[in-house]
């Protein structure tokens, strides 16, 4: 198993579940765009939920240039986490219940993209990762809209994954008890799209609308 890239990324509790290889970390980040960004604003800790995407060995997130979160994160130490629940683990003892999950935690200094052309490129890449072909069919963004958007990125140099997958781990003497135990699988399902009430009549969802998959 690859070693932890730094002391603060080293998984200490149940460290047999730790994974530090890029393939595992990248796979989890690519499977779940929803993330939580931890930061400090005016001396107080905050955690904000947003969307992230990965390009190579960096993750990106964006929002309004007026965002408190983005202002606080720029050139600051942050912690970004992503979690996917794969199942509820039902044991024979309440304390042994658990979840099957995949998670990633990333530490580092968030940097702001200042070049407008690169900013637009990153936003295009984000859209195309989710729905290939979407960007080119949309109204072009304006320079004013690009200016009003902040894009931050964070290197994956200090990242770790933690994964649980399997049946419950009960005390040996409890396996003889007449209590059902096992795993309840959990999946995030993408449902058919619904039309905007103000949609021009006759328009139907393009093929790329159904291309995105969670998990």
Where in the chain are the domains?
7-169
7-169: CATH number? 2.30.110.10
Tens-place pLDDT, residues 20-65: 799 999 999 999 999 999 999 999 999 999 999 999 999 999 999 9
Show the tokens assigned to 100. 């099957």
Which pTM value belongs to this model?
0.91
pLDDT at 86: 96
> What b/e readout covers 6-34, taking b as 16+ CB neighbours within 10 angstroms?
eeebebeeeeeebbbeeebbbbbbeebbe
CA angle 215-121-59, nearest 5°?
40
What span, in angstroms and rounded, lies between the C-alpha atoms of 73 and 168?
Answer: 39
CB atoms within 10 A of CB 154: 23
Q: Does the structure show a pLDDT above 90 at 19?
A: no
Task: Identify the pLDDT of residue 16.
Answer: 73
* pLDDT at 82 (0 to 100): 98
d(CA 71, CA 63): 10
pLDDT of residue 121: 98
CB 127 within 8 A of CB 171: no
């Amino acid at each position: 198993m690859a070693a932890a890239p730094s002391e603060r990324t080293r998984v200490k509790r149940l460290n047999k579940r730790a994974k530090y290889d890029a393939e595992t970390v990248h796979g989890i980040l690519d499977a779940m765009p929803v993330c939580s960004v931890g930061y400090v604003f005016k001396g107080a800790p905050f955690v904000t939920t947003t969307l992230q995407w990965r390009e190579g060995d960096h993750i990106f997130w964006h929002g309004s240039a007026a965002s408190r979160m983005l202002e606080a994160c720029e050139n600051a130490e942050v912690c970004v986490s992503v979690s996917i629940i794969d199942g509820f683990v039902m044991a024979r003892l309440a304390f042994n219940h658990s979840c099957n999950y995949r998670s990633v935690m990333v530490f580092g200094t968030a940097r702001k993209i200042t070049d407008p052309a690169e900013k637009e490129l990153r936003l295009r890449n984000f859209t195309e990762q989710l729905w290939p072909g979407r960007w080119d069919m949309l109204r072009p963004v304006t320079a004013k809209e690009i200016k009003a958007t902040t894009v931050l990125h964070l290197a994956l140099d200090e990242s770790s994954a933690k994964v649980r997958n399997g049946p419950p781990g009960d005390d040996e003497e409890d396996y003889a008890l007449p209590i059902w135990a096992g795993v309840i699988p959990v999946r995030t399902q993408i449902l058919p799209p619904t039309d905007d009430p103000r949609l021009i009549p006759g328009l139907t969802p393009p093929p790329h609308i159904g291309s995105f998959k969670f998990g």
